[in-house]
A and B are shown apart, each in its own frame.
Chain A
Amino acid sequence: MRAKQGTAGALVGVCAALVLLAAVPAKGFAGEMKLEAQLVWGTDDSKPPEGKDYKPVEAAIQKKIKDLPLKWKNYFEVKRTEFKIAPAAATKIPISEKCSLTVQSHNDSVVEVSWIGKGREVLKRTQSLSKGEILILGGNAPNATAYLMVLRRIE
């Protein structure tokens, strides 16, 4: 009988300790996540279209894209925007009249990216994205060119 009481007491103690540990605040969010979205145009032409002053993509992005098995010779930066996402809040980034991206963070390192086209969610991807890493959503565009939406984590 004494042995059984001792065992029960030990188990109560373990449970109490677990409760106390659980009461310690979780690590949770360190703060906002800073990201950058670049719309990039892929083409075999050496220059951007007439009237557009697109610059070639920066060297770091160029290198990463060139390592991918994509066939286009040149990549131009169409637009770039930096934005922050607060924990558990979604940020919408318009790409064109009919397309947008929605980005949300789930914790320190995981992002959820939704690609909305013509009012429908075409793709939703959840993955970890550490500083310096990039996620590219791309596809064919008219006249045998391509579009790439390059999402990079800055901080």
Chain B
Amino acid sequence: MAAFEELVARHRDKIYARAYSMMRNEEEAVDLSQEAWVKAWQRLRQFQGDSSFGTWMTRIVINLCLDQLRKHKRQRTESIEAMSEESGGVERQMPVVTTNPTAGLERSELRQRIDRALGLLSHEHRTVLVLHEFEELEYKEIAKVMGCSIGTVMSRLFYARRKMAALLSDVKKENWK
């Protein structure tokens, strides 16, 4: 148990961060990350070392988050931004952000903007972004995890990135055609 506690200490921030990126709620992220650790303890024998322990752990917490998001989905109400994502196809018409969206930003301000921008995405778009950018999964792996087509993964990822670029560079919505 002491050795396991050491593993928890070494990886806990990363596992929590992954849960928070997906759930956008501190309390839920803490609960799910702890649940992931309990599951990891129970399945430790199944860990075969073919991936790093950190990778194995993040997969456990991602699956728990996805299960929780699916439960939320039944009765979830979407933000207005999410509604406009689905009903507009707006990302196809957004002007390209020609300046580096992060240029001139202090690290802390950039983190705040990214955090805010992630919070404005719908959970489907945020999940694809997390799985691709943080978890570094390929399109087909993301499609399998999320239970959707590769085409859906591509369009959601595209939307998420374009919206992030616009939010990071403070492009006003009125400028979108």
Contact = CB atoms under 8 A, between A and B. Distances in A.
Given a CB threshold of 8 Å, the question of whether A touches B is answered with yes
Interface of A: 68-71, 140, 146
B9 interface: no
Nearest to A138: B87
Nearest to B84: A69
B62 to A, nearest CB: 27
Contacts of A68: 83
B88 interface: yes
Interface in B71-96: 80, 83-84, 87-89
Contacts of A69: 80, 83-84, 87
**SS class, residues of chain B in contact with chain A:** helix
Interface in B39-96: 80, 83-84, 87-89
B94 to A, nearest CB: 14
A71 B93 CA distance: 14
Counting chain A CB atoms within 10 Å of each CB, the highest count among B80, B84, B87, B88 belongs to B87
Contacts of A146: 87
Interface residues of B, number: 6
A121 to B, nearest CB: 16
Contacts of B80: 69
A73 to B, nearest CB: 13
5 contacts: A69-B87, A71-B84, A71-B87, A140-B89, A146-B87
B97 to A, nearest CB: 22
Nearest to B79: A69
Nearest to A72: B87
Nearest to B88: A71
B140 to A, nearest CB: 25
Nearest to A71: B88
A70 B88 CA distance: 8
A3 to B, nearest CB: 49
A70 B80 CA distance: 9
A140 B87 CA distance: 7
Contacts of A140: 87, 89
Given A68-B83, A69-B84, A71-B88, 10 more contacts: A69-B80, A69-B83, A69-B87, A70-B83, A70-B87, A71-B84, A71-B87, A140-B87, A140-B89, A146-B87
